[in-house]
Copies of this chain bind each other. A is one copy, B any other.
Amino acid sequence: MLNMNKNPKRVTLIVLAMITVAFVFSFMGTVLAQTTDTTVPAQGYASGINPDGIIKGSENIPRISIASFAKNILETTGIYAFFVDAKVKATPAGETITVFGWQELLMIIVGFVIIYLGAAKGFEPLLLIPIGFGTVFVNIPFGGMGDAPHGFLNIIYEAGVGNEFFPLIIFMGIGALTDFGPLIANPKTALLGAAAQFGVFGTLFGITAFNFIPGFNFNMKEACSVAIIGGADGPTTIYIAAKLAPHLLATVAVAAYSYMALVPVIQPPIMRALTTPAERKIKMKQLRHVSKVEKMLFPLSVFVLSILLIPSASPLIGCLMFGNFIREIGVVERLSKTMQNELLNIVSIFLSLGVGSQMTPEKFLNPASLSIVFMGLLAFAIATASGIIVAKIMNLFLKEKINPLIASAGVSAVPMAARVSNKVGLEEDPSNFLIMHAMGPNVAGVIGTAIAAGVMIAVYGG
C-alpha cells in the first residue's frame, strides 16, 4: 500500500483497469435503459453504423458558423453592451424602467471608485473593498452574478443580507471585539453616546425638506432608513434598511461606511468650532480599573434592560451583548476567537458583497441616492455637534469636568471616532491622552443607535 507513491504509473494502470471493469458492468444498466426509449427520429440516432443519424439529445443545441460566432462573441463583449444594451427592469417601487448599458458602466465605475476609497489606507477597507467588488460584479453585462436563483450574489443576498442574519452575526463579532471597560469605569459618558443620536433624529427634518424638490418622495420609513446613517453603525443601518426600506439598503450602507471612513475629515472642524482651547485642554482623571465580574455582568445587564424596556432593540443589543459576554466570561475562548475572527471575517466578506450587489442602476441611479449622500453628511455633523453641546451642558453641573472632545466619539464608528478625539486633544496639549476616555461615549454610541433603531422598529413595524 505504501509503495504506491513509488509506482505512480502502475497505480494509473490499475485505476484505468478498474474503470474499464466498471464500464463493463455499467453497460448492462444502460442497455436495459436503452429499451425504455421514447420516439426515435426518422433519421435514427447517430452511431458508427448510422453516421447520418441525429445525436441523441442534440436537438436543441444551437449551431454556430464562423460569422454567427464572431457576431455572437462581439455582441457579448462588455464594450458592445455598454453602448447598445437596454433592458427593461422594475424599480423597487414597481415601476418599469429601461436600464441602459452606459448606466451599467457608470455603476461599474462607481464600484471601482468604492474599491479605490477602500484600498486607500484607513478608509474602512475591510468593508468598502468587497462592497466595491460586489457593485462591479452585479453590473457586469452577461455576468448574471445577481440573477435569481443561481447567481453568486443573489445566493449571498438571500442567505443573509435581505434578512436579519448577517447584520446580527456582525454584531456578535463586534461585541466579542469590544471592551466596554471604559464605559463601565465612567458610566456618565453614556449620556454623550445618547446625545449623538440627535444626529439620527435631527436628520429626519432634512430628509423631509428634500420632499420639496420635485422627484424626491421620502416617506417616514425611508426617512428613518436614511437618518440612521447618523448612528455611524453599519450593521444597524443595514438591519433597519432591510426592515423598513430594502430598496435603499445598498445606498445607505455605502453612505454609512463611507462616512465612517471619513470621520477624521468630517469631525475635527466641527469639534474645533464648538470648543474653546481651554475646554480642549481639560484633563480627565485616569479611569478606575474595572473588575472582571463587572465586565461579565455588564452585557447581561444591558441585555436584560433592553428586554424589559425596549424589546424591539433587543435583537441588536442582544447579539452585541451575547458576543461581549462570550468575550468576558473567559471559559469559552474557542467561541470568542471564532466570533472575533473567522466568523466575523467570513460574514463581513459576504455581507459586503451582498450590499454591493444591490448597487444596480434601477436601485441606485435616482434622486434619492444623491440626497442620501448629503443627508448622511448632515447626520454625522449633527451627531458630532450635539454630543459636544451636551458635554458642555453636563460640565455646567459636574465637578469633574468632561473634556468635550470625547463627546464627538459618541457617534460610534468604533474606534475611529475615539482616535479623532485623542488626536484633536493632542493638538492642543501633547500630554493629554483622551483615547480611553473617548472609548466610553464611543461604545455607548453603539448602544444608543441600537435603541434609536428599536424605537423606529417599534413605531413603523419590524
A79 in contact with B165 (CB, 8 Å) = no
Cβ-based interface call for A396 (8 A): no
A366 cross-chain contacts in B, Cβ below 8 A? 26, 29-30, 33
From 153 to 207 in chain A, residues with beta carbon under 8 angstroms from any chain B beta carbon are 155-156, 160, 162-165, 168
A265 with B103, Cβ < 8 A, contacts A29-B365, A78-B309 known = no
A284 cross-chain contacts in B, Cβ below 8 A? none
B219 in contact with A29 (CB, 8 Å) = no
Cβ-based interface call for A41 (8 A): no
Smallest CB separation, A279 vs chain B (Å): 24
8 Å CB contact of A27 from B215, B311, B461: B215
Bound-state CA distance A364–B25 (Å) is 11
Cβ-based interface call for A462 (8 A): yes
Cβ-based interface call for A369 (8 A): yes
A308 with B79, Cβ < 8 A, contacts A217-B55, A332-B125 known = yes
Cβ-based interface call for A84 (8 A): no
Q: Which of A46, A258, A322 has its CB near the most chain B CB atoms (within 10 A)?
A: A322
A34 with B150, Cβ < 8 A, contacts A78-B311, A125-B332, A315-B137 known = no
Instruction: Give A409-441 as 1s and 0s: 1 = Cβ < 8 Å from B's Cβ atoms.
Output: 000000000000000000000000000000000
Smallest CB separation, A135 vs chain B (Å): 12
Cβ-based interface call for A43 (8 A): no
8 Å CB contact of A106 from B11, B22, B145: B22
Bound-state CA distance A329–B133 (Å) is 14
Bound-state CA distance A361–B26 (Å) is 8
**Chain-B contact segment, one of A228-236, A343-351, A385-393, A400-408:** A343-351
Bound-state CA distance A12–B31 (Å) is 67
Instruction: Give A301-335 as 1s and 0s: 1 = Cβ < 8 Å from B's Cβ atoms.
Output: 00100011111101100110010011001011011
Cβ-based interface call for A458 (8 A): yes
A455 cross-chain contacts in B, Cβ below 8 A? 73
**Chain-B contact segment, one of A116-124, A270-278, A442-450:** A116-124
B140 in contact with A318 (CB, 8 Å) = yes
A308 with B78, Cβ < 8 A, contacts A19-B373, A73-B455, A219-B57 known = yes
A8 in contact with B126 (CB, 8 Å) = no
Bound-state CA distance A115–B96 (Å) is 52
A335 in contact with B126 (CB, 8 Å) = yes
Q: Which of A108, A319, A346 has its CB near the most chain B CB atoms (within 10 A)?
A: A346
8 Å CB contact of A310 from B32, B47, B77, B149: B77
The count of identical subunits is: 3
A106 cross-chain contacts in B, Cβ below 8 A? 22, 25
Smallest CB separation, A81 vs chain B (Å): 7
B265 in contact with A12 (CB, 8 Å) = yes
8 Å CB contact of A214 from B16, B48, B99, B160: B48
From 37 to 78 in chain A, residues with beta carbon under 8 angstroms from any chain B beta carbon are 37, 45-49, 51, 55-58, 61-62, 64, 69, 72-73, 76-78
B458 in contact with A73 (CB, 8 Å) = yes
Cβ-based interface call for A288 (8 A): no
Smallest CB separation, A347 vs chain B (Å): 10
8 Å CB contact of A76 from B58, B79, B312: B312
Cβ-based interface call for A220 (8 A): yes
In this complex, what residue of B is CB-closest to A353? B322
A217 in contact with B46 (CB, 8 Å) = yes
A22 in contact with B110 (CB, 8 Å) = yes
Cβ-based interface call for A91 (8 A): yes
A97 in contact with B32 (CB, 8 Å) = yes
8 Å CB contact of A120 from B4, B110, B262: B4
Bound-state CA distance A4–B220 (Å) is 38
A150 cross-chain contacts in B, Cβ below 8 A? 162-164
Cβ-based interface call for A9 (8 A): yes
In this complex, what residue of B is CB-closest to A108? B307
A312 with B142, Cβ < 8 A, contacts A8-B265, A222-B57 known = yes
A168 with B142, Cβ < 8 A, contacts A219-B55, A265-B9, A346-B343 known = no
In this complex, what residue of B is CB-closest to A102? B25
Known: A73-B458, A126-B335. 5 other contacts (CB 8 A): A46-B212, A77-B310, A143-B312, A334-B341, A342-B345
* A-B contact list, 12 entries, CB within 8 Å: A4-B120, A18-B113, A22-B369, A29-B99, A36-B96, A47-B212, A47-B216, A55-B217, A119-B325, A143-B315, A149-B163, A338-B349
